[in-house]
Structure 1
């Protein structure tokens, strides 16, 4: 349940920022920046804080190489599904959704990795804390 919640939060953050529908921050801010500047800046800063939290936690748990490895696994899966004819990449909107799912899975795995590692090895990750 924990991974599912973390993944959904990452997916929501990405989809709230951009998706192929008109219901996202990027389209709304572009269309309303002149009339809703304070709200656009406020919401943009909230999204920025969300990205900082997610990216920092992911980088600390699996690192940049780990992020590339997880993303590569999902890209290879997309390649396999396309090669077997189970997935078609001729629709740009579907490709965007696939990209959002892949990126959110990278963030979700990054946020959950410490929990997975603790369950597999019995060891906890501990950050250095200054007294």
Structure 2
């Protein structure tokens, strides 16, 4: 359940930042930054904080190679679905949602990898503290 929650928050972070609808930060900010500059900056900073938390945790848990590997698995799955005619890539809006889904899976797995590793191996991950 914890991994699912981490993925949902990653998906929301990415979808709130940008998606093919008009309901996202990029669209709203570009339309309202003149009238709502303080709010635009505040919301942008909150999104940046969310990205820093997710990216830092992901890089510490699975690293850059792990991120590429997870993204490769998701891309291969999309390729299989496309090859089996279960997925069409003609619609740019659908492609954008697929990209958001793929990136959110990478961030969700990275954020929850310590929990997965603990369940599989029984070993705890701890951060090293300089002393």
1:18 corresponds to which residue?
Answer: 18
Give 1:111 deviation, angstroms.
0.8
1:13-57 CA deviation, whole Å, 9 max, x = no partner?
000000000000000000111111110000000000000000000
User: Which residues of structure 2 form unaligned runs of 5+?
Assistant: none
Stretches of 4+ aligned residues off by more than 4 angstroms: none
Does 1:29 pair with 2:32? no
List aligned pairs for 1:52-91, cutoff 5 A: 52-91=52-91
1:4 corresponds to which residue?
Answer: 4
1:47-74 CA deviation, whole Å, 9 max, x = no partner?
0000000000000000000000000000
Distance in 2, matches of 1:104 and 1:69, equals 14
Q: Secondary structure of the residue that 1:69 maps to in structure 2?
A: helix
User: Which residues of structure 1 form unaligned runs of 5+?
Assistant: none
Does 1:95 pair with 2:110? no
Does 1:46 pair with 2:53? no
Q: Secondary structure of the residue that 1:52 maps to in structure 2?
A: helix
Distance in 1, matches of 2:61 and 2:130, equals 20
What is the aligned-residue RMSD (CA, Å)? Answer: 0.7
Give 1:130 deviation, angstroms.
3.5
1:125 corresponds to which residue?
Answer: 125
Q: Tell me the TM-score normalised to structure 2 length.
A: 0.98
